[in-house]
Structure 1
Amino acid sequence: MSNKQKYYIGLMSGTSADGIDLALVSFERNHKLRHHASYYQPYSNEIAEQIKSLYRPNANEIDRAFTLDVALAKLFSRAIHDFLAQQHLTHADIIALGNHGQTIRHRPLNTNAFTLQIGCCQTLATLTNIRVIGQFRRKDMALGGQGAPLVPAFHQTIFSENKTHNPSSKNAIDVFVVNIGGIANLTFLPAQDTFKTLGYDTGPGNALMDDWFQLHNPDSTFKYDKNGNWAATGIINDELLHQLLSDNYFKLPAPKSTGREYFHLPWLQKQLNNVAHISSQDVQATLTAFTAITIVNAITQHHLDNTNMVKIYLCGGGTHNKDLKNQLNQQLEKQITNYELLLTNQKDIDVDQLEAIAFAWLAFAYDKKFLSNMPAVTGASKGCTLGTEFLP
């Protein structure tokens, strides 16, 4: 019997619709995760626009969505082929692909709640000749959950400082893992067992900032406000900030989840219609503050014992925005006595790869039949093993 190392590949395409993230992962006998390599394939402008055009209802959706479903699977398969070649591996070295796919619609509050991720798992399995585990959100939603966020169970295995999970920990430490993608989400790993692990979407991450930047900087080399440099030239407008923070989403209790089908440019324009004229740079500065404040408000809502140390691990594209990180620090200093603002890199998890790694772990969890949703997080009626298997 061959003792050659076998791997899982996690595949993530987030709400920013910027490209494909792949992570090569293995698991040791004690289930300890090891991240070996990463790969990133940016989307063309055409593909990115096709994805974003499906975030909101529009004409001819079914044809457009399911044509793109197969087109993305073909892109995913080419990225995997190139990644394997780069790592001098073949399909036979891979146990399974954990495919999140590309979310184009997420409606957890509908009477008949649903979620739709495209990037056809069956096409992907057939083209790569690798077993695919995908459609991770649907069973949780069938059990009455929001189908999101899915990564807190993974976060708990990596980041928890609770003495139950980390017996060597001497101090009481509340841990928060904050992923700032297009939408920002938070996982709360409490210091004490008396509190439950929680996770939910805090609101916009980079989505509104990216869209506003592209609208007003169409000739930029970048599709985003690099380092937050443009936002830093503006001034935060208190009137607009108050208007943004008054949205009902921020009054909802957890579990809750949202997406770019809710927080988008028409939503922003509606808010702008209710305030006096503001320069485009001031809007960007205000959007940056908006993201920072909604994240910190969520953190302080759960950090109830000021004697506890707080560790906040950041990941996602927003970690590269210096202005946003400055805003986060400013807000945290106002509200929390003793905290550390860290990057997931300090736990050997690349800030740009955490979600791809998490979907490799979810594929592994499927194979081991672990309970991989968290009812306290999603609102599901019970725990379950997430995912569906697709064979080549």
Structure 2
Amino acid sequence: MHYIGLMSGTSVDGIDAALISVSVGGRPVLVATHAHPIDAAVRGEIQALMRDGPNEIERLGELDMALGGLFAEAAAAVLRKSGLAKKDIRAIGSHGQTLRHRPRAAHPFSLQIGNPSVIAERTGITTVADFRARDMAAGGQGAPMVPAFHHQMFHSAQRNRVIVNIGGIANVTCLPADAAQPVSGFDTGPGNTLLDQWIHRHHTHAHDEAGQWAASGRTSRELLELLLSDPYFAAPPPKSTGREHFNMEWLQGHLKKLATPPAAADVQASLVQLTAQSLARAIRRFLPQTLEAYVCGGGSHNRALMTALAENLPGIAVTTTDALGMPPDWVEAAAFAWLAHQTLEGLPGNIPAVTGAGHAAILGGIYKA
């Protein structure tokens, strides 16, 4: 059975499309991939809607339909690359684009757009979407969503492993070798989001290529300690977060507390340490016998960040999921393809111990072609 997974993260750097094959009881196999661009105007509107603003409902409605079209284009493109036909694809699993994630609101919600009816209509392929809502209805935080896939794909019966996903927000999945021990996972805090926003503010680059700018700076211990004092880092899981919390206003608020703010490159270096140290602390606390950490997501290309993570995890082998047969850029998109499979098979896609849901749940709504 073949499925397509579609994912756009908090960095809004494009739509990842992954086509996988799934056999009963087996590990998914990556067949084809495609990175679909999001033009600057649409990216700007997405980022604007991540904050409060005027006329939000009108703007959201139009953007939802426009993004549905872009997600459909991404699905069609990866299908062409695979050489398969539309009839060979059982379903598309679309995560959509997160605009707000409010797990601690009076009525918790997580809002993803990219209209699945548009995707199903334009591709002619059944589409599964809105994965987070059912978990939240069951009392969970709707995040992180990928640990069940990590367990299916990467679990080892011999060695304790951690899968580290560094997208805009970073999260970990702890995979004990002993199957009797529970899988755990949670958002650790900022991944690339502050790094991307800071370099864009000072150099208009979308990201810090290979972490070169961060490597040119020196960590401000004073700033780093202030940032790490945020209560989120010490809070026990289940927990999840987003740009609603870790954003430029949050960073600027801490910078204002310093008598002498660091140079811009030193702030970037400090933000690398913030991501690395918050991840390392989480791993040591929740799976202290970890032997291996495998990184996926865009952060895997940031050499300064990968070096910092390895330095903060002495005795643990740190590499990317390439070593396990899955390129790090495509793990999340593949996860939502697999989650579509779970939904159509009537199988749960969440892990209650991870999200805090009251029970395992079949996730997502099905939009028949």
Structure 1 residue 314 and structure 2 residue 295: aligned? yes
**Contact 2:33–2:330, Cα closer than 8 Å, also in 1:** yes
Report matched runs for 1:137-176 at 5 Å: 137-161=132-156, 166=157, 169=158, 173-176=159-162
SS at match of 1:389: strand
The CA deviation string for residues 265-300 of structure 1, in whole angstroms up to 9 with x for no partner, is 111111111112211111101011111000001001
Residue of structure 1 equivalent to 2:197: 211
Larger Rg computed on CA atoms: 1
**Contact kept in structure 1, 2:162 and 2:290, CA below 8 Å:** no
Pairs aligned (count): 368
Once the 2 structures are TM-superposed, how far is the Cα of residue 369 of structure 1 from its aligned partner?
1.3
Partner of 2:357: 380
* Distance apart, 1:83 and its partner CA: 2.4
TM-score (norm 2): 0.97
**1:190 Cα offset (Å):** 1.8
Q: State the secondary structure of the residue aligned to 2:322.
A: helix
1:30-49 aligned at under 5 Å gives the runs: 30-49=25-44
Which of 244, 268, 271 aligns to 1:284? It is 268
Task: List gaps (5 residues or longer) in structure 2.
Answer: none
Q: Residue in 2 aligned with 1:116?
A: 111
Question: Which amino acid is the alignment partner of residue 17 of structure 2?
Answer: L
Q: TM-score, normalised by structure 1?
A: 0.91
Report Cα offsets for 1:295-352 as digits up to 9, x if no partner: 0010011133xxx45110100000000011111111112xxxx321121111111100
**Where does residue 178 of structure 1 map in the other structure?**
164
Post-superposition offset of 1:194? 5.5
Q: What whole-Å deviation, never above 9, does each CA across 1:120-147 have from its counterpart, x for those lacking one? A: 0111111111100111000000010000
The one-letter amino acid of 1:267's match is W
Q: Work out whether 1:364 is the aligned partner of 2:365.
A: no
**Which of 322, 328, 343 does residue 320 from structure 2 map onto?**
343
Task: Output the amino acid matched with 1:41.
Answer: H
Stretches of structure 1 that go unaligned for 5 or more consecutive residues are 1-5
CA distance in 2, matches of 1:49, 1:351: 26
Change (3 A) 1:65 1:327: same
Q: Does 1:296 align with 2:277?
A: no
- Alpha-carbon distance, 1:31 to partner: 3.6
> Offset at 1:97?
0.1
CA distance in 2, matches of 1:9, 1:343: 23
CA contact (8 A) 2:296 2:331 kept: yes
1:3 — aligned with what? none
Aligned partners of 1:264 and 1:326: how far apart in 2?
Answer: 24
Task: Quote how far apart the aligned CAs of 1:45 are.
Answer: 1.6
Runs of 4+ in 1 over 4 A off after TM superposition: none
Q: Give the SS at the match of 2:291.
A: strand
Give the residue type in structure 1 aligned to 2:292: K
Query: After the TM superposition, which of the residue ranges 55-64 and 182-191 deviates more from structure 2?
Result: 55-64
1:328 to 294, 309, 315: 309
Task: Give SS of 2:292's match.
Answer: strand
Identity %: 43
CA–CA distance in 1 between the matches of 2:20 and 2:320?
A: 20
CA distance in 2, matches of 1:249, 1:198: 17
The 3 A distance-change label for structure 1 pair 200 and 309 is closer
Rate the CA distance shift 1:192–1:235 in 2: closer, same or farther, 3 A.
same
Q: 2:92 aligns with which of 78, 83, 97?
A: 97
Residue 158 of structure 1, CA deviation = 1.6
Report the secondary structure of 1:84's partner residue: helix
1:149-201, Cα deviation, whole Å (9 max, x unpaired): 1111111112222xxxx3xx3xxx32110000000011011233554211110
| 2: CA distance, partners of 1:241 / 1:125 | 46
Deviates more, 1:38-47 or 1:140-149: 38-47
